[in-house]
Amino acid sequence: MKAVGYKSSGPIDRTDALIDFEAADPVATGHDLLVQVQAVSVNPVDTKIRQRRAPEGDTPAILGWDAAGEVVAVGGDVNRFKVGDKVWYAGAINRPGTNSEYHLVDERIVGQAPASIDTASAAALPLTTLTAYEMLFDRIDVTQPIAGAANAIVIIGGAGGVGSIAIQLLKALTDMVVIATASRPETQDWVKGLGADFVVDHSKPLPEQIEALGIGAPAFVFSTNYSENYVQQIAEFIAPQGRFGLIDDPENFDIMPFKQKSVSIHWEFMYTRSLFETGDIARQSGILNEVAGLIDSGKVKSTATETYGTVNAANLTRAHALLESGKAKGKIVLEGF
């Protein structure tokens, strides 16, 4: 089968940063589905692993943790899916990625793909959807109000892949006031179009902008990037006993400013359930099925913003470079081989 991978970790500007190669077709056993991959998207985790994690042995490591496609074979223990099902999923970080014609994935982290959008649009969503949903409803649990706090959440980095779907999930499933941060006119327009009630500029001091909204101190903050740069500001504007969640990888993260307000801190790592095969691993299948229903009912839309052509090393290199520039809006998708 065709696949795209890398043989050594490092920057994206090398000619061999990503390469096309041929790999053996995988075989489904146990709880695995064999999926013919029809479309993928690119996430920051792809670039981080390519930069930092060297492949084992001489075989190129395959990146990619978003896919939409069709089940072509099932393992002996599979009971949720059958050959011919259209599926979408984000995969597992300790297994080969989705940048290949065929891919093995545990059925318990797979959902039935939404029927109302095309494959490429669907491929944009699984990883960011799971990350946002788990943070909002499993970690900081926005359904549980905080006494005296405004029923509001601040999403730092609202125009990125995770922020884009988080805004929509909040508007579809809660009555919360959503405050998104964005610094450029095009990204500000993007988050407004997704349903954000207010937009503030994260390149300027946030406490003054949020106070000026006149809604009170927000109960929740969800930071998607550069979290270490905002700790002091968040500590100033978040409500006492508020909940703060982050998903990025700050090198230094001083939580002391949160102590006086008893702010709780919540990490979200979308791969935890699959990596440790937790007792609730199948919740990811349930989340994807629920969000597929929201898409098919018109309450959530795809966050795909750019299509980079077929899945190959040249196109994926372009996508990695754009993500690393910090200027991406929504999600980049690739379709077909």
Averaged pLDDT, 243-270: 96
Domain hosting 300: range is: 2-125+281-335
Q: What is the total count of domains within the chain? A: 2
Q: Is 160 inside any structural domain?
A: yes
| Mean model confidence pLDDT for the chain | 96
Transcribe 243-268 into DSSP letters: EEEE-S--S----GGGTTTT-EEEE-
* Percent over 70 (pLDDT), the chain: 100
For 296-305, how does the pLDDT look when each residue is reduced to its tens digit (9 = 90+)?
A: 999 999 999 9
Tokens of 191: 């988050």
Tokens 């040249």 correspond to 314
Domain match, 191 and 286 both: no
How far is 156 from 228, CA to CA, in rounded Å? Answer: 12
Domain match, 252 and 303 both: no
Domain match, 144 and 212 both: yes
Averaged pLDDT, 240-266: 96
Taking the model in full, what pTM does it have?
A: 0.95
How far is 286 from 300, CA to CA, in rounded Å? Answer: 16
Domain match, 232 and 307 both: no
Tokens of 234: 């968040």
Query: In the structure, what pLDDT confidence band is assigned to residue 217 with cuts at 50, 70 and 90?
Result: very high
Is 165 in contact with 132 (CB distance < 8 Å)? yes
State the CATH number of the domain containing residue 307: 3.90.180.10
